[in-house]
Amino acid sequence: MQPYNSELFLTTSEVADLFDVHPSTVKRWSDTEGLEVDKTEGGHRRIYLRNALTFAEERGIETFLAPFAPFESHVWLAVRDAKDHHDFKRARSLAMGWLLRGYPRRVTALFHQLVIRPELPLELVCDRAIQPFMAEIGTAWREGRLRIGEEHMASQAVLEALIRLSPRQALEDPDEERGGSTRPPVAVVGAAEGDQHQIGSMCIRVLLEREGWQVLYPGANTPAEEFAALQRTRRADLICVSVSPPATEAHIRRAFDVLREFYRAGTPYHLVFGGSEIGEIPELAGPSPFQSVEVFRSAVAFIDWVRNHGQEMESEAWAETA
């Protein structure tokens, strides 16, 4: 095994995952069909990634790595680190390299690979891959290592990876309009007025959709009055307002005041503010008409709260239409 990168020797089950077949099929292929294997000292099979990919190519077996040629091994290691150790450093530096060389589609495809994997919680990918990657982009731009066009391409690449996740069942439920008895919980998600940053709220949108929510998504720069109007139209159970710098706590206070003014007890909802830089805002903890007011600095903390309270909101949604 000496002349090879030892990190690129795959176990039978890793190859099975890559080929989307049962491990026993991989064993059979290595015994009788010419899939080249090495053996460890303990007698376990190890398959060099390049040999596995050549075998796949010859047999017409599709793998998620093929479109990344000639960077299959880089992508394999990045995805393996993410899956096995929740370590996204390799993925982020690969994405940055591609962006700087003018390959934004690869960036989208890589992030897409991270966000679709069932073994990788999406909220973790948002907090540990997307958020830090975009922060690195921001720093590189500020230091003049990245042009503004490249920063925009990075934003677009990440947004595209996320939007591809939006599930088909997220189409509005016709049963709801007919007054049917099944109504999924509904949320309005966007960024505060004056805030042009869209990726944080897009993370929240796709996370909620994955949890079975219907999401109204006005996106960036949404006035608080609009959040209120959208909430009322669909009797939404939740409003999520994303706030990034240079928007400040003053923006949150203003949105809070406007939403409080527009609040109607007949269409109750929970109010959530989110963003990694939001500080303490004591006023939000005081008495208010909302079912609750929460502030989250991460997607992980938010989704934890949704899972703990989601059931409650779902039954409230059902009770309303029953």
Q: How far is CA 322 from CA 136, 142, 226, 241, 264, in A?
A: 49, 54, 28, 29, 20
Q: What tokens does 34 get?
A: 């010419």
- Looking at the Cβ atoms of 261 and 304, the one nearer to ligand B12 is 304
Among residues 8, 203, 271, 284, which is the contact residue for ligand B12, using CB under 6 A? 203
Between the two ends of the chain, the Cα-to-Cα distance in Å is 66
Could you say whether residue 131 binds ligand B12 (CB under 6 A)?
yes
Full strand arrangement of the beta sheet holding 38-39: 9-10, 45-48, 38-39
Q: Which of the ranges 16-24, 51-59, 67-75, 129-137 carries the binding residues for ligand B12, by CB under 6 A?
A: 129-137
Among residues 111, 200, 206, 209, which is the contact residue for ligand B12, using CB under 6 A? 200
Where does residue 50 rank: exposed (0-12), middle (13-18), buried (19+ CB within 10 A)? middle
Residues 288-317, interacting with ligand B12 (CB under 6 A) = 296, 298-299, 302
Could you say whether residue 135 binds ligand B12 (CB under 6 A)?
yes
Residues paired with 191 in a beta bridge: 242
Interatomic CA distance for residues 206 and 43, integer angstroms? 45
Could you say whether residue 46 binds ligand B12 (CB under 6 A)?
no
Would you call 188 helix, strand, or coil by DSSP?
strand
**Min separation Cβ 294 and ligand B12, Å:** 8
Could you say whether residue 127 binds ligand B12 (CB under 6 A)?
yes
Could you say whether residue 222 binds ligand B12 (CB under 6 A)?
no
**Min separation Cβ 138 and ligand B12, Å:** 3
Q: How far is CA 157 from CA 45, 77, 136, in A?
A: 38, 21, 15
Could you say whether residue 196 binds ligand B12 (CB under 6 A)?
yes
**Min separation Cβ 126 and ligand B12, Å:** 4
Among residues 63, 198, 214, 231, which is the contact residue for ligand B12, using CB under 6 A? 198
- Looking at the Cβ atoms of 219 and 268, the one nearer to ligand B12 is 219
3-state helix, strand, coil in the chain (%, to 5): 55, 10, 30
Q: What tokens does 192 get?
A: 């505060």
Among residues 42, 149, 246, 282, which is the contact residue for ligand B12, using CB under 6 A? 246
Interatomic CA distance for residues 55 and 49, integer angstroms? 10
Q: Is the dihedral of CA 59, 62, 65, 71 positive or negative?
A: positive
Could you say whether residue 194 binds ligand B12 (CB under 6 A)?
yes
- Looking at the Cβ atoms of 37 and 216, the one nearer to ligand B12 is 216
Among residues 15, 79, 110, 134, which is the contact residue for ligand B12, using CB under 6 A? 134
**Min separation Cβ 293 and ligand B12, Å:** 12
Q: Under the rule (CB under 6 A), what is the footprint of ligand B12?
A: 126-127, 130-131, 134-135, 137-139, 142, 151, 155, 194-201, 203-204, 240, 242, 244-246, 272, 274-276, 296, 298-299, 302
